[in-house]
Amino acid sequence: MPTLNLPVSGGMTAGYTTRPAKTFPKVDKPFNRVAYAAAHVVTDPLAETNPWLDAPVDWDTTIAFRRHLWSLGLGVAEAMDTAQRGMGMDWPSSLELIRRSLDAARDFPGALIGSGAGTDHLAAGADVTIDDVIRAYEEQCAAVEKLGGRIILMASRALVRAARSPDDYARVYGRILEQVREPVIIHWLGEMFDPALDGYWGHKDHGKAMEVAVDVIGSNPAKVDGVKISLLDKDKEIAMRRRLPQGVRMFTGDDFNYAELIAGDAQGYSDALLGIFDAIAPAASAALGSFTRGDVASFHEILAPTVPLSRHIFKAPTRFYKTGVVFMAYLNGLQSHFTMIGGQESTRSTLHLAELFRLADAAGLLADPELATHRMKLVMATRGVH
């Protein structure tokens, strides 16, 4: 098997030998859980742009990756934070991404896709009003609906700045939900993913914030397909799941505890809308296929080794998890380079990437160990490891 030197703590390196590739079975029927992978974007590394300011997208490779996810039976959550929304991808680029993905989905029978609509074209300044936030949400929701898309209603940085009480959140969400054509997925993104969203729903305490969110959903259950919470706390997710109105789904956004939450308990379960499913798509698909066939043991056996990898990719500062997701796509030959929008390939250390490689190998997620090792050596060489 291929070997290479990888850095370890203390400024040293150590030899590492990869394991044989693991083969994950292909799905043969729809899952008994709704499962979206929040998908990343592939930048164009040869574009004549300012890497810190511009967002040149390699559209062909980006859309090919969506087809890869659909071929595994997974849905695509488009233009979300995994696609560097709010961290390099602006609204016009995101809308173009949504348009292209929806077009591709029409050529892929059974493709599931939801598209992020928020307020990120509205600067979150001190002069922003609640009416400004409502108009911004209306503009993006209308744009997604015009393209024939289903809406994932993203959290708003501008709303955090403009709101003076929880009632302002209820007013904004109430106005938007009464206008949308089809039920939406509400996304509560925690401050660990985006510090600008600290205090969402009008409270820094998650328990009090949850009260507001549940009230908003309870006032508009017919317009809410589900809620995705990304708080990295399984107990909070379960508590909220048990309080949702009948027919409203909980989509887990917990990249630390997803296996347990998807499996559920006697009182319910979570569907999935996860950034980590981008990076572990073959394993996620195989595990969900096993679960659908009633093979719960195989479900956990497949996913268990992926959890340490996911916790590593999403470790604090959590907002930099996109680097690990893109690195996995590079190692597995799903894109030809490790360059990111905004130069965010630099947000994780050499030691972090080395541990990611080891954990991905342990989980059987290096599809071609020889290719992955070759590419890892190239990246390590640029960082002084030989």
Domains of the chain: 29-304 (3.20.20.70)
User: What integer is the mean pLDDT of 187-202?
Assistant: 97
Confidence of residue 28 (pLDDT cuts 50, 70, 90): confident
- CA dihedral for 269, 68, 54, 138, sign (positive or negative): negative
Q: How far apart are CA 382 and CA 386, in angstroms?
A: 9
Percent of the chain with pLDDT over 70: 100
Q: Is the pLDDT of residue 53 over 90?
A: no
Contact indicator for 7, 50 with CB cutoff of 8 Å: no
Confidence of residue 283 (pLDDT cuts 50, 70, 90): very high
pTM of the complete model beyond 0.85 = yes
DSSP 67: H
Residue 296: CB partners within 8 Å, gap ≥ 6? Answer: 263, 290
Q: How far apart are CA 125 and CA 244, in angstroms?
A: 33
- CA dihedral for 130, 143, 38, 216, sign (positive or negative): positive
Residue 47: CB partners within 8 Å, gap ≥ 6? Answer: 54, 56
Q: Is the pLDDT of residue 144 over 90?
A: yes
Phi, psi (deg, nearest 5) at residue 93? -65, -40
The rounded mean pLDDT for the chain is 97
Q: Is the pLDDT of residue 174 over 90?
A: yes
pLDDT for 204 equals 97
Percent of the chain with pLDDT over 90: 95
Confidence of residue 63 (pLDDT cuts 50, 70, 90): very high
The HSE-up count of residue 327 (CA atoms within 13 Å, CB side) is 31
pLDDT for 51 equals 85
How confident is the model over 195-251, as pLDDT tens digits?
999 999 999 999 999 999 999 999 999 999 999 999 999 999 999 999 999 999 999
Contact indicator for 264, 237 with CB cutoff of 8 Å: no
Q: How far apart are CA 261 and CA 129, in angstroms?
A: 37
Q: Is the pLDDT of residue 26 over 90?
A: no
User: What integer is the mean pLDDT of 186-191?
Assistant: 97
